[in-house]
Amino acid sequence: MEERGGRAVGEGDSEPLDSLRRRGILHVDMDAFFVGVEQRERPELRGQMVIVGFPSERSVVLSASYEARAYGVRSAMPMASALRLCPRAIVVEPRHALYYEVSRELMALFREFTDLVEPLSVDEAFLDVSGAVRRLGAPEHIAAAIKAEVRSRLGLTASVGVAATKFVAKIASARSKPDGLLVIRPEDTVPYLHALPVEALWGIGGKTAEVLARLGIHTVEDLAHTPDSTLRRMLGASGLHAKSLSWGIDPRRVTPQREEKSVGAEETFASDVVEDEVLKRELLRLSHRVAARLRSAGLEAGTVALKLRYADFSTLSRSRALTVPSDSAHVLYREGVRLLEGIGPRPQSVRLVGLRGERLSRGGGAVQLSLERGEDNWRTAEKTIDAVAARFGHSSVRPASLLGEGSDRRRPSSADESPGPSL
């Protein structure tokens, strides 16, 4: 599927160079990446209902083929639920080393077209091709060339959105899946956005949509014409950011990945741990330590990484890119728990757990776009914690779930509140 603002992409476009450059942002998103790699390695899986994940009721779906998605299977769904929906699915255990190797090849391919590549995860990235249009042609032709190279060299398919901003490009890629190309011209941006349901805006989930619906706000256009005072009262500061997005306003630039820096903390347990509850409680403690260090340095993390060291000293690491960089312990903890749950059954007990913020940038940029009002409350509370800790010490205030642990023999052996080492 190849469209341009609702029209098929054609050859022989003749537009002024500055006009072409205005829509030079691409969002490239691989289609069911883990499944696609497995199907490339095992052609007999093509066209089958395939789920990548561990075949255990406690594990979650990491990726699903479009044949399985037709039955309602989705990423991050509990495996037990997925198999109830699609009992004939073929479950394939993940091979992360292979996926990361293919990801490196993918990002190297992108950089053959432009130096301005901003990876978001192993299988998606923003590309700014505005400086390449004189050499390579219109942005949509560059996008088509990238899709063709991904297919011929990697044996995979990708969906691409082309627009004037990162936000609109990402919406376009999502709405062109699978194996599609959708171009939203600058002059078509607002009409296109305004025809979408309000949930299309980043951060507006089911609960927020229900709140907005009670006010008669059902579409992006409805939100765009809602008074600022109403949005501020209902959604906090992020409501005004959502309104900017509803008019296609997103000034963020594509930022190439720089030399990686990180802020992290880790702890070794006094005795090895198997219970998820204990691991999650320690992740909460580490999240507050890492977030406090980020805020004190004026930094935000674009990626959250989890580290587990097992009883035999083998180590496993997983990471997850954030939609918007954050210095919030609430956000770090939420993503850390998702990473932990995504690992599936652990082969043995855990002796060390660590959490790290990566892809650091200076704070004060985009608002963390979760439009649930509670996000503003979390940010305010954490800033208050910083002020109290600065005056009375880090042990003077902590989350309620971390109180009363003095007699817990499973607490980490070095459970002080000072910043831990980077992972």
Q: Which of 2, 38, 67, 124 is catalytic?
A: 124
Pairwise CA distance, residues 32 & 77, whole Å? 14
Q: How far is CA 193 from CA 168, 265, 355, in A?
A: 8, 41, 37
What proportions of the chain, in percent to the nearest 5, are helix, strand and coil? Answer: 45, 20, 35
Backbone angles phi, psi at 210, to 5 degrees: -65, -45
What are the residues whose beta carbons fall under 8 Å from the beta carbon of 209, sequence distance 6 or more? 197, 198, 199
Provide the 3-class DSSP secondary structure of residue 170. helix
At 263, list the tokens: 């802020």
Token pair 């305010």 is at which residue?
A: 380
At 385, list the tokens: 């914690």
Contact 357, 294 (CB under 8 A): yes
222 is in an annotated binding site: no
Pairwise CA distance, residues 409 & 154, whole Å? 50
Pairwise CA distance, residues 115 & 118, whole Å? 9
Contact 282, 288 (CB under 8 A): no
Pairwise CA distance, residues 420 & 238, whole Å? 32
Contact 362, 381 (CB under 8 A): no
Contact 204, 220 (CB under 8 A): no
DSSP 188: G
What sections of 65-174 are H helices per DSSP? Answer: 66-69, 79-85, 96-111, 133-136, 139-149, 166-174
DSSP 153: I
Q: Is 300 a catalytic residue?
A: no
> Which residues form the catalytic set?
124
Please state the residue numbers annotated as binding site: 29, 123
Binding residues for Mg(2+): 29, 123
